[in-house]
Amino acid sequence: MIPVQDVADRTVAVLGLGRSGQATVEALVAGGARVVAWDDSAETRAAAEAEGLVLADLTRDAAWDGVSLLVTSPGIAHLYPAPHPAIAQALARGVPVDNDIGLFFRSYATADWDRFDTAPRIVAITGSNGKSTTTALTHHILLEAGRDAVMAGNIGRGVLSLDPAEDGQIVVLELSSYQTDLARALTPDVAVFTNLSPDHLDRHGGPGGYFAAKRRLFAEGGPDRAVVGVDEVEGRYLANQLAEGPADDRVIRVLSAGKPEAFGWAVMARKGFLSEWRKGRQVASIDLREVKGLPGAHNHQNACAAYAACRALGLAPREIEAAMSSFAGLPHRSQHLGQIGGVAWVNDSKATNVDSAAKALQAFPKIRWIAGGMGKDGGIAALAPHLGSVVKAYLIGHSARDFALQLGDTPHEIAETMEAAVAHAAAEAEPGETVLLAPAAASFDQYPNFEKRGEHFAALVAALESPTARG
């Protein structure tokens, strides 16, 4: 673990004892802090107390005697729609509030680095969609190229559970808006912004607050290199704020349209090809069309962002190209499960909003689409321009009937359950078609999270190939 610095002999409160909260407690204790903790779940509190952790109800005045810092888990609201009562106590008392990401950035560098030949570096990746794939791909490329790299944050391990840095090590972090919004220290060497689309708006008080949370990754510490997706206006605004002019190659722009040669450094995805541009000249190109782990234009954009991050770290184009060819993709993110009778089955359970679902719908030509769950504001009305490839939709979950009303002339049925949707799609699909799970909705009506939803879909698909299913 990474012991937290500057907390020795201080009393630190920890709110939330999930994965990151438990790692935070251990790292604080290793740094010499006295820890008191609280979790809203009685079951979690009982387990923590059995482990010897000191508990104190942080919603009450008596718990705050001597507390000099509150560390909160990212899922707990600290501003909108209203601060958690314990955080409200800290704000009222002037007690600093931080999270594990902030503690990591202030504790990762140590005096041991003076003996390293190469200083460790941190790549931090944020954005609405594609950040998990971009993070995993960046990590994969670094490992394949022989670099010492670890992956953590919103994917993989909690940041404070990492081992102390090694000579030349690279940490690749996926950071959500919940994590960047509150961290008191954010100092990556390379920061990546994939894109922005409406999400978590209640938590951030609207789209401006959501963008501001992402922007903090670039504004708080000033990375040496910034990789910025500029297909949306927010990305163009961010790149404009960071660069001294179009020729400033400290900002690497990632785009799918426009003129990459106009910038000092740019990486472009167009018609299945990645191209790198430096000072008005194309210097490298990669054919992404046959990389099975990166299907569709949206994944080609993710590939561009990972490519740019790795180039910023000094990797050569040929190293990156070789590594990309072996990338298998992530579970639940355009995950190719295989073919049955000439029909492809793809699990994109992570497509929990219309923007990510739209990208999935554009990745395949003939789609049997499984959608539905706990729909978000606006439903799927915004997907109307992307339904041309849908042969038929199979709607499940709480919002199935609402979604049906927004499909217009697109053939559809209300299947209600994943079992029915998979069975009906399997019976009706023809060779050359793709059965795609891209729900455009949250999972909480039928599943605890999108991973369990995707796992259920994958298990049902696997059963289609079993001897019992064939018989």
Is 392 assigned to a binding site? no
CB 154, CB 189: distance < 8 Å: no
Rounded to 10 deg, the angle between the 233-242 and 207-219 helix axes is: 30
Question: Whole-angstrom Cα distance, residue 35 to residue 23?
Answer: 12
Mean pLDDT of 144-167: 94
Domain-located, residue 31: yes
Residues 61 and 121 in one domain: no
190-193: strand order across its sheet: 149-153, 170-174, 121-126, 190-193, 225-229, 251-255, 265-270, 273-278, 281-287
Q: What percent of the chain has pLDDT over 70?
A: 99
pLDDT score at 197? 86
Residue 31 domain boundaries: 11-98
Question: Whole-angstrom Cα distance, residue 172 to residue 140?
Answer: 10
Strand partners, 270: 273
Domain-located, residue 280: yes
Domain-located, residue 447: yes
More confident residue, 168 or 130: 168
Q: Tell which of 98, 128, 154 closes a domain.
A: 98
Q: What is the DSSP letter of 96?
A: -
pLDDT score at 129? 87
pLDDT (tens digit, 9 = 90+) per residue, 5-57? 999 999 999 999 988 899 999 999 999 999 999 999 999 999 999 999 999 99
Mean pLDDT of 436-460: 96
Q: Identify the CATH number of the domain in which residue 433 sits.
A: 3.90.190.20
Residues 229 and 288 in one domain: yes
Q: Tell which of 263, 291, 324 closes a domain.
A: 324
Q: Which residues neighbour 407 within 8 Å (Cβ) at sequence distance 6 or greater?
A: 380, 387, 393
Residues 154 and 285 in one domain: yes
Q: What is the mean pLDDT of the chain?
A: 95
Output the six-digit token pair for 186: 């954010």
Residues 417 and 441 in one domain: yes
Domain-located, residue 242: yes
Is 20 assigned to a binding site? no
Q: Which residues neighbour 151 within 8 Å (Cβ) at sequence distance 6 or greater?
A: 135, 136, 139, 157, 171, 172, 173, 174
Domain-located, residue 6: no
Residues 84 and 155 in one domain: no
pLDDT score at 409? 95
Residues 229 and 88 in one domain: no
Residues 341 and 308 in one domain: no
Distance of CA 390 to the CA centre of its chain: 27
Domain-located, residue 3: no
Residues 303 and 368 in one domain: no
Q: What is the DSSP letter of 196?
A: -
Question: Whole-angstrom Cα distance, residue 135 to residue 34?
Answer: 34
Is 325 assigned to a binding site? no
Q: Identify the CATH number of the domain in which residue 59 sits.
A: 3.40.50.720
Question: Whole-angstrom Cα distance, residue 118 to residue 122?
Answer: 13
Is 128 assigned to a binding site? yes
Is 99 assigned to a binding site? no
Residues 340 and 252 in one domain: no
pLDDT score at 466? 58
pTM as predicted: 0.84
Residue 156 pLDDT greater than 80, yes or no: no
Residues 355 and 452 in one domain: yes
Q: Tell which of 297, 324, 351 closes a domain.
A: 324
Strand partners, 442: 374
In which residue are the tokens 């919103």 written? 154
Is 131 assigned to a binding site? yes
pLDDT (tens digit, 9 = 90+) per residue, 290-321? 888 898 888 999 999 999 999 999 999 999 99
Q: Identify the CATH number of the domain in which residue 261 sits.
A: 3.40.1190.10
Residues 209 and 307 in one domain: yes
Output the six-digit token pair for 322: 């070789």
pLDDT (tens digit, 9 = 90+) per residue, 193-246? 999 988 788 899 999 999 999 999 999 988 999 999 999 999 999 999 999 999
Strand partners, 38: 15
Residues 146 and 247 in one domain: yes
pLDDT (tens digit, 9 = 90+) per residue, 273-291? 999 999 999 999 999 998 8
Is 161 assigned to a binding site? no
Mean pLDDT of 178-192: 97
Residue 469 pLDDT greater than 70, yes or no: no
97 membership: H or E segment, kind and range: strand 97-98
pLDDT score at 468? 43
Domain-located, residue 34: yes
Domain-located, residue 471: no
For 146, other C-beta atoms within 10 Å of its C-beta total 10
**For the residues of 423-464, what is the DSSP string, one character each?**
HHHHHH--TT-EEEE--SSBSTTTSSSHHHHHHHHHHHHHHH
Output the six-digit token pair for 399: 């919002």
| Number of domains the chain contains | 3
Cis peptide before 81 (omega within 30 of 0): yes
